A = this chain, B = another copy of it.
Amino acid sequence: MDNRPIGVFDSGLGGLTAVRELRLLLPNESIIYFGDTARVPYGTRSRETLLRYVKQDIGFLRTFDLKTVLVACGTASTTVLESVRGDYDLPIFGVVEPSAAAAVAASATGRIGLIGTPATVRSGAFERRVRQLNPETQVFSVPCPLLVPLVENGRTSPDDPVLQLVLEEYLAPLQAQNIDVLILGCTHYPLLSEAIARQMGPAVRLIDSGAAIAQYTAATLRQNGALAAGTDAGSLRCFVSDQPHDFARLASLFLRCDTEPEVSRVDIEQY
């Protein structure tokens, strides 16, 4: 048993897709969330800049006594996680392993699509892991730089005409490849899953990287005997690098909380 909280971070709102699933699976775990809203988006930054940001993000989370850290950000998981993991003495999970495993398990045809930020697609991290798990698999990748700005501006409705047009452009090459599984390689994208599913049709299974990392975390903690003891509902504390107000409102909507979570501002450049 381990009652210490789980730390989770993302560039902005996206990581809440992991938090939502984590609270469903493990309702009595406490969670510390950090969203780097003063520096979002991550997916168009260079690796060098991402390295600095991710070290600061983990540095801030480490001011709490945590049992594990979830990198609930596709860009951070694919570009810099492997370089920094060894610098810390606690387990750090990223989205690549859980999503790649779920995609390989779900695909009947071995034709898997990936959408992600430009940095994620450039990294090749999902492709490498998928092909390690099953060398017969083919992965078709499309960078989608406009999706995070759309989500962060609240444009997630499947009826939004701009979102529809952007998705048509990004998804057309994947439809042409007859994929049967599509990895949503950025934790913002599950917020668009209804719109994406409508375009891809029912034959394509979507892999939600936020849900996948949460499921992987639940299984790993259970296996290691590191779940929280007792039956009290876990707490959720959120921190953001820009002003907390909008984030609290969007987070409560998204997490379907009755009350807005506690959200505080943190000066992330100090870490």
User: Footprint of B on A, CB under 8 Å?
Assistant: 38-39, 41, 44-46, 48-49, 145-146, 149-150, 152-153, 161-162, 165-166, 169, 241-243, 265, 269
Q: Which of B45, B149, B162, B243 contacts A49 (CB 8 A)?
A: B243
B-chain residues with CB within 8 Å of residue A241 when the two chains form the complex: 49
From B145, B150, B165, A165 is in contact (CB under 8 Å) with B165
Minimal Cβ-Cβ distance residue in B for A164: B165
Supply 11 further A-B pairs (C-beta < 8 A) apart from A49-B242, A161-B165.
Answer: A45-B242, A48-B243, A49-B241, A49-B243, A145-B153, A146-B146, A146-B149, A149-B149, A162-B162, A162-B169, A165-B165
Contacts of A46 in B (CB 8 A): 242-243
Q: How far is the CA of A41 from the CA of B146 in the complex (A)?
A: 13
Q: Which residue of B lies closest to A38 (CB)?
A: B49
A146, A169, A241: which has the most chain B beta carbons within 10 Å? A146
Looking at A46, A150, A161, A169, which has the most chain B CB atoms within 10 Å of its CB?
A46
